[in-house]
Amino acid sequence: ITKTFRLPAETLKRLEELAQKNNISLNNLIIQCCEYALENLEPGAEDTDICNGSDAESQTGHASSTANI
């Protein structure tokens, strides 16, 4: 599945550097990060706004990245 996400430019830069440092693709790193986050959610966190009302699309300084999952 192909899906597009918007990330803060600094976050994307850090993820790209981490992927390169670990010799894995950015896509693989994003999958690992998402799976880790989902596995480590606090009980009941799926029912709350874990982003504290932040709307990433409305913030400036974002880069767009398309993930093939």
Least confident window among 17-21, 35-39, 57-61: 57-61
pLDDT confidence of residue 15? 98
Q: How far is it, in rounded angstroms, from Cα 57 to Cα 14?
A: 19
Dihedral-angle region of residue 18 (phi above 0 means left; psi in -120 to 50 means alpha; beta otherwise): alpha
pLDDT confidence of residue 21? 98
**pLDDT tens digits, residue range 9-36?**
999 999 999 999 999 999 999 999 999 9
